[in-house]
Amino acid sequence: MPEQIEYRLRRSSRARRARVVVSHEGEVEIVLPRGMAVRHVEPLLTEKRLWIEATLRRFEEARAAAPTRLEDGGVVPYLGEQLSLRVRVEPGRVRPHVARRRGLLKVAVGEPGADALRDALERWYRRRARVEVAPRLDAATRRAGRTYECLSIRAQQTRWASCSSAGEMSFNWRLLLAPEPILDYVVEHEVAHLDVPDHSPRFWALVADRCPDYREHERWLRRNGASIRL
C-alpha cells in the first residue's frame, strides 16, 4: 500500500479547478474551488502522485546541495557572489544588525542559533531586494514605454514575481540568492506582462525580443529554484 501523502486543503474563490501546489519547503497543498466537494481530493492525489513524489524528491535534493551555511564562517549567495558570514552574538540585542563590507557580511544578533541568523539575514535581503529591483524595474519600464503602480517585496512560496492588472509589481526577495542575470530576466518578464497579461505566444515573442536568452534563464530557474533558499 503506498504511503499516504500529507497535504493542506485550501478553498479559493478564484480557482476554476482543483490543483496541487508543492512548495520548496516540501509542503503539499490542495486548492479546491469554493463549491467543489472534498471527495475529489483523493482521486486528484492518485492522479498526481508520481509528479508530487518526484517534485518533493527534486526539492529535497536541491536543498541538500545548496551551498548556504548559516553559521559564523559560513557563506550566503548574493546575485552570483558568495558572501562570507561573520556572526557576533550580543545578548540583549533586540534588533539584529547586518552590514556588508565587500565580500564580507557582518551580522550581530541577540541570541545564538540558525533561526536568529536566518531572520536577520532575511530582513537584510528584503531591504536589499528593493534597492536592487527598483532601478532595474524603472529602467525596464522606461525602455518599454510603460509605467507601473507600485513595487512590493515579498516571500512568495510558488512565485518569483507577479504583475497585477493594475500594474502592481511584486518580487520575491529570494531572487537575490540567484545570479544577477536571473534577476534581470525576471524583471523583464514582469514588465512584459504590462503589455500582455498572459503567457501566450505573443507574450513570449515580446520577452524574446527584450531578453534573447530567456529560455536559458527559465531552465536555470526550473533546475535550481528549489535551492534558492537560506
Highest mean pLDDT among 30-44, 59-73, 191-205: 191-205
pLDDT at 191: 97
170-185 mean pLDDT: 95
Q: Which three cell numbers stand for residue 78?
A: 548574493
31-44 mean pLDDT: 91
201-216 mean pLDDT: 93
Interior/surface letters 3-39, b for 16+ CB within 10 angstroms, e for the rest: eebebeeeeeeeeeebebebbbeeebebbbeeebeee
DSSP 176-187: GGS-HHHHHHHH
Tell me which amino acid residue 110 is: G
Between strands 81-89 and 161-163, the pairing is: unpaired
Into which CATH architecture does domain 75-227 fall?
2-Layer Sandwich (3.30)
Q: What is the pTM of this model?
A: 0.72
Neighbours of 92 (CB within 10 A): 6
* pLDDT higher than 90, residue 26: no
* pLDDT higher than 60, residue 66: no
pLDDT at 62: 60
* pLDDT higher than 90, residue 3: no
145-170 residue pLDDT tens: 999 999 999 998 778 999 999 999 99
Q: Give the domain ranges of the chain.
A: 8-65, 75-227
Backbone phi and psi for residue 163, each to the nearest 5 degrees, phi listed first: -135, 120
Least confidently predicted of 26-35, 64-73, 114-123, 212-221 = 64-73
**Residue closest to 30 by CA, chosen among 174, 47, 162, 228:** 47
